[in-house]
């Protein structure tokens, strides 16, 4: 079926609008945190896979970091392993860590890899343990002193060795990274995927850090989307309490990345099909962009 005149005009406009962005971002690295509804909705997962395949085909270097909290919770429930949370973090004992590593490093990771393959791309699934990509340490915090249960094997990034990613960036492969890493003592840790994506973007000096969420972006006090912010404006919003609760760690991750040399960070709605392409290749975008002043 052929396009009518209006549809053809819209299609041509979209292609023409994307051209300068393709030229600008060829050879640039994009670290994308994939999570939320986009991971659990089959249609959204396919649209995301097509997005990163297209990015790779036009010369960009997408690196995908994924979460998997709902999938972990489902398997723990089936295994009758009780889940506890402290300040939003899953208490991760040895048995829970086995499940986390199995879900993130095997089932979820390979599902994303297969989705990319179905859409014409080539992907390699790895964890932070592979090639000693990420060295972890226990997340700092004296939980017991606050009367809370120890969080167990919940970690943070101690260091990153980018050799394996540098090798892949010059190939046709898209890295898909599960946020599980080992420590220098041999302990395995589960690390928040936003945190891993942010730290990877920092050490790679990425062009963009993109965090897919289940909200349209950052909202002001009236509930309107804030489309473009400088780092100082983000700090003001945090101090004013406009950014709070569950969004605060995600925003802090984006803020840290930009202040450490990442060109810009995006918080976008993963519930929208092709959200990544719409944010990168259109003049309007669909989420919140955070950049350093003067950029």
> With left for phi above 0 and alpha for psi between -120 and 50, is residue 294 left, alpha or beta?
left
pLDDT for residue 284: 67
Q: Which two tokens stand for residue 58?
A: 């036009």
Residues in the chain: 295
The alpha carbon of 177 is separated from its chain's Cα centroid by a whole number of angstroms, namely: 10
pLDDT for residue 10: 58
- Residues 72-101 have pLDDT tens digits of 989 999 999 888 888 778 889 999 999 999
pLDDT of the chain, 295 residues: tens digit per residue? 554 555 455 556 667 778 888 889 999 999 999 987 778 888 999 999 999 999 999 999 999 999 998 899 899 999 998 888 887 788 899 999 999 999 999 899 999 999 999 999 999 999 999 999 999 999 987 655 555 678 889 999 999 999 989 888 778 999 999 999 999 999 999 999 999 999 999 999 999 999 998 888 888 777 788 888 888 888 888 888 888 777 888 888 999 999 999 999 999 988 988 889 888 887 667 788 898 864 4
pLDDT for residue 283: 67
Q: Where are the beta strands (DSSP E) in the chain?
A: 29-34, 61-66, 85-86, 89-90, 122-127, 134-138, 154-160, 173-178, 180-182, 188-191, 208-213, 228-230, 264-269, 288-291
Any residues with CB less than 8 A from the CB of 27 and at least 6 apart, and which? 59, 60, 61
Task: Determine phi and psi for 171, rounding to 5 degrees.
Answer: -115, -175
Domain 27-291 has CATH 3.40.1160.10: yes
How far is CA 246 from each of CA 88, 173, 184, 205, rounded to the nearest angstrom? 8, 33, 31, 26
pLDDT for residue 9: 54
> Is 139 in a helix, a strand, or coil?
coil
Q: Which residues pair with 29 in a beta bridge?
A: 61
pLDDT for residue 7: 47
Given the structure tokens 């390699």, which residue do they identify?
124
- How far apart (Å, rounded) are the C-alpha atoms in residues 100 and 104? 6
pLDDT for residue 12: 66
pLDDT for residue 19: 84
pLDDT for residue 264: 92
pLDDT for residue 143: 56
pLDDT for residue 225: 84
Q: Which two tokens stand for residue 198?
A: 């942010």
pLDDT for residue 287: 85
- Residues 112-129 have pLDDT tens digits of 999 999 999 999 999 999
Q: Are strands 29-34 and 188-191 parallel, antiparallel or unpaired?
A: unpaired
């Amino acid at each position: 079926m052929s396009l009518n005149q209006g549809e053809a005009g819209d299609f041509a406009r979209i292609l023409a609008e994307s051209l300068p962005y393709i030229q600008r971002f060829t050879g640039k690295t994009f670290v994308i945190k994939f999570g939320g509804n986009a991971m659990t909705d089959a249609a959204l997962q396919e649209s995301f896979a097509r997005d990163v395949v297209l990015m790779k085909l036009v010369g960009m270097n997408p690196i995908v970091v994924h979460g998997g909290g709902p999938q972990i919770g489902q398997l723990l429930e089936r295994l009758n392993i009780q889940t506890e949370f402290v300040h939003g973090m899953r208490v991760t004992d040895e048995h829970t860590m086995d499940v986390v590593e199995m879900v993130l490093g095997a089932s979820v990771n390979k599902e994303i890899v297969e989705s990319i393959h179905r859409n014409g791309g080539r992907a390699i699934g790895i964890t932070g343990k592979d090639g000693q990509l990420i060295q972890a340490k226990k997340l700092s915090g004296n939980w017991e002193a606050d009367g809370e249960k120890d969080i167990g094997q919940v970690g943070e990034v101690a260091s990153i060795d980018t050799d394996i990613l540098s090798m892949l960036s010059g190939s046709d492969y898209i890295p898909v990274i599960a946020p599980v890493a080992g420590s220098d003592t041999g302990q395995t840790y589960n690390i928040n995927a936003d945190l891993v994506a942010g730290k990877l973007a920092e050490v790679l000096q990425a062009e963009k850090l993109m965090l897919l969420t289940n909200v349209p972006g950052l909202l002001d006090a009236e509930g309107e989307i804030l489309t473009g912010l400088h780092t100082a404006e983000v700090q003001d919003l945090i101090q004013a309490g406009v950014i709070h609760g569950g969004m605060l760690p995600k925003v802090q991750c984006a803020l840290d990345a930009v202040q450490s040399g990442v060109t810009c960070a995006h918080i976008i709605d993963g519930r929208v099909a092709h959200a990544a392409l719409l944010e990168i290749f259109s003049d309007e975008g669909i989420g919140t962009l955070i950049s350093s002043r003067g950029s």
